[in-house]
Chain A
Amino acid sequence: MRNRFMLAGLAAGISLLTLGAAQAVEIEYWQYAYETRVTAMDQLIANFEKANPDITVKQTTFPYDDYQTRVIAAKAAGQGPDVLQLFYGWLDKFQSGGVLQPLSPTAFPHDAIEADFFPIVTAMKRGDDYYGLPTAVRSLALFYNKKLFEEAGLDPSKPPQTLDELVAAAVATAKHDAAGNLISEGITMDMAGQDHQWWREVLTRQFGGVPYSDDYRTVKYGEKGGVEALKFYTDLQTEQKVGQTGFMDEGQAAFRGGMAAMTIDGTFRLGSFKTIDQFEWGVTELPANADGTRSNYASYFANGIGASAQGEELAAAEKFLAYVSSPEAMQIWLDVVGELPARKSAALTEKNLADPILSPFLKALDYAHTTQFVDEAGQRQVAIDMANRVLLEGQSPADSVAEAATAEQAIIDAAAK
């Protein structure tokens, strides 16, 4: 009996040994599960392994809702991945928690990073170190339903370019029934979607304020701009009655269903909207204010190197990271996932700039801002509650913005402790 066990153990041990000998280095890559992203990464891994036969990359994915917990739990257990994807807004948490290691300046020289990538890459910098590099970036734009524009007598080739035109187009396209109930929106209102970014980084600036201090550690929208921006936003529901929070549950669902003429959403929605066959839609830059000031919110998922990668694995991880942030990888990512390349040279090609769908998003990268969140979900909740206090409880925009500013400052201060 005992002998048999020993034999089995020996056999298992030998097979493990041979396995180790056949594969020189195996590194582990983590990202969240999203079909096109996984497919694109599979392609990148295949190309990378062909060029580097001594390295194998194992891709592991988790559902988005679970992803941060998994990364953090793996770090606590000391078994993190070698290369992992992270939202730029999680960097503070991941960096202070020791999930990531800084990129070596010899493998990734800072001047090259800052010259080649769009300026928003600096959101991955803490102190003197970069902690990751993006493959693709995302920005916002105004999507509009050409069919509903035509029905309302608007020219579908001339989408609104200013806030006043936006309101006029929304008023023209919104439909109500006899009782006054909204049955088709002029513009969607969904603070839980992208509207909180629109209010924070775009509207607040267009109404003459700034959302935060330059280091994003002090809330500034309470001082100037924020109140007017919120009033403009909530007036869409209370005054012009062209949108309604919770209409069809989510803004993107209403637009998809052909029950909203306009919605503000990001590059990541392109894949889903491309399957719409009921109507044609177009994209345009987020409207400017009366002075012509435009702004946008850009964000990205970056890839960083796990703190536990050492020696051979670290060298392999650096090679892999360099490949997934190369222009070639960015082109594959654009073709498969539809997200914009993070390097200027790969993004601002003639072909991309001539593309009617991509160009509004690309133009936005020049003037976009990247909010440095400390607790993305918490800060978003502050904005949702702020709008709800005005829409549901009739609080004045001024009081609501003041309350939101206090609440958000408390979240930022608690994270800095």
Chain B
Amino acid sequence: MAQGAITDDTVPRGRAWDRFSIRTKRVIWAWAFLALPIIFYGWIRFYPTFQAFWISFTDWDILKPAQFVGLENYDKLVHDPQFWKVFRNTFTYLIVGTPISLVIAFLVAYYLDRVRFMHGFIRALYFLPFLTTAAALAWVWRWIYQPVPVGLINGLLSQFGIPQQPFLKSTTQGLPAIMVTAIWAGLGFQVIIFLAGLRAIPSTYYEAARIDGLGEGAILRKITLPLLKPTTVFLVVFSSIGFLRIFDSVYNMTSNDPGGPLGSTKPIVLMIYQTAFSSFDMGYAAAQTVVLFTILLIVSLLQLFVLRNR
């Protein structure tokens, strides 16, 4: 094949190709290699995304051909109390979960950075949950939260004579119970990133500050935190998107009544999943997806704007 190509087209192709500078040739090659993933991505990601926008204006249920219904799905969404509940849940996961997880991760990283003794081992312990399958974690926690004969926490509580807590079976404790596990599962990753960020701050700044007689608190406020900003921005965006898309831990921890009692732990992604794959109401599910997409876009842009470099 290769031989044939050269003997057949060397003359015309060679001339045109030789006119390009090495720089241009490099760009062409780079684009040639990049084209494959771009086409693949465009076809498998972006095309379905645009398709979802279209489906959200139809009443498609997989079986019958889709019919254009205008804004009917969005109208239904606005008047669906279930959607607002789910909307509230999702933002609770986001607004409570993100700051708590970041503060804990920073504190752990800040002090772990100073620990020399068994540093690698402790770091590995924090990172371990991140390596474990989310579904497996969720099922273990599901049993930890059970009432007495089985549940670990309730077993401990009853030994101290404290009344049992319903945890996942409660409309008020369910969401915090799930959030704790989600924060715990993601902590390792955030700690590692913060540690890397802390290590990247040149030690000369600290030395200079100490010579000038600054206290630890002032060093933290004036040097560490400002220089850690790119890391923080990345983690805030990353963790926010994670909480907005929370699904697997909720689904696995409450699978016999998905989304907890009376939908008290149900996030928007679980509602989309149920609308699409148990009710097969694809149009309505697509409308919910578009709303989630918009929220994700706004939240990400807003955070990038607020935390931008001045």
Contacts and interface: CB of A to CB of B under 8 A. Distances in A.
Interface stretch (A148-156, A241-249, A346-354, A360-368): A241-249
Interface stretch (A25-33, A68-76, A126-134): A68-76
Interface string A244-257: 11111110000000
Contacts of A291: none
A389 interface: yes
Contacts of A381: 257
Q: How big is the B interface, by class? A: 20 to 34
B168 A246 contact: yes
Interface residues of A, number: 40
Interface in A245-287: 245-250, 259
Contacts of A248: 146, 149-150
B124 to A, nearest CB: 32
Contact of B1 (A1, A75, A76, A181): A1
Given A183-B148, A183-B149, A246-B147, A393 B63 contact: no
Nearest to A184: B149
Interface stretch (A94-102, A106-114, A166-174): A94-102
B158 A177 contact: yes
Contacts of A7: none
B82 to A, nearest CB: 10
Main secondary structure of the interface of B (DSSP, over half): loop
Interface in A156-207: 177, 179, 181-184, 190-193
Nearest to B59: A417
Interface string B114-154: 00000000000000000000000000001100111110000
Contacts, number: 83
Interface in B1-32: 1
Given A1-B1, A72-B63, A378-B278, A250 B256 contact: yes
Given A179-B161, A182-B147, A389-B262, A96 B168 contact: no
Contacts of A68: 280
Given A259-B149, A392-B171, A179 B262 contact: no
A126 B274 CA distance: 27
B84 to A, nearest CB: 16
A255 B261 CA distance: 22
A68 B278 CA distance: 9
B279 interface: yes
A43 interface: no
Contacts of B147: 181-182, 244, 246-247
A192 B256 contact: yes
A98 B261 contact: no
Contacts of B280: 68, 72, 93
Contact of B171 (A76, A177, A244, A393): A393
A73 B262 contact: no
Contacts of A181: 147-148, 158, 164
B163 A249 contact: no
A384 interface: yes
A21 interface: no
Interface in B142-181: 142-143, 146-150, 158, 161, 163-164, 166, 168-171
A377 interface: yes
B62 interface: yes
Given A181-B164, A375-B279, A249 B143 contact: yes
Interface in B258-289: 261-263, 274, 277-280
Contact of B262 (A96, A177, A191, A392): A392
B62 A72 contact: yes
A384 B161 CA distance: 31
B221 interface: no
Given A249-B143, A389-B262, A392-B262, A179 B163 contact: yes
B279 A388 contact: no
B64 interface: yes
A246 B164 CA distance: 13
Given A1-B1, A250-B256, A392-B261, A73 B148 contact: no
A313 interface: no
B153 to A, nearest CB: 13
A62 to B, nearest CB: 13
A244 B150 CA distance: 14
B220 to A, nearest CB: 44
A128 to B, nearest CB: 22
A385 interface: yes
A1 B158 CA distance: 78
Nearest to B167: A246
Contacts of B158: 177, 179, 181
Nearest to B274: A377
Nearest to A99: B63
Given A177-B158, A384-B261, A393-B171, 18 more contacts: A72-B62, A72-B63, A75-B63, A76-B62, A177-B148, A179-B163, A179-B164, A182-B148, A191-B257, A244-B147, A246-B146, A247-B147, A248-B149, A375-B279, A377-B274, A388-B261, A392-B171, A392-B261
Interface of B: 1, 61-64, 142-143, 146-150, 158, 161, 163-164, 166, 168-171, 256-257, 261-263, 274, 277-280
12 contacts: A76-B62, A97-B62, A97-B64, A177-B148, A177-B158, A246-B166, A249-B150, A381-B257, A385-B262, A388-B262, A392-B261, A393-B171
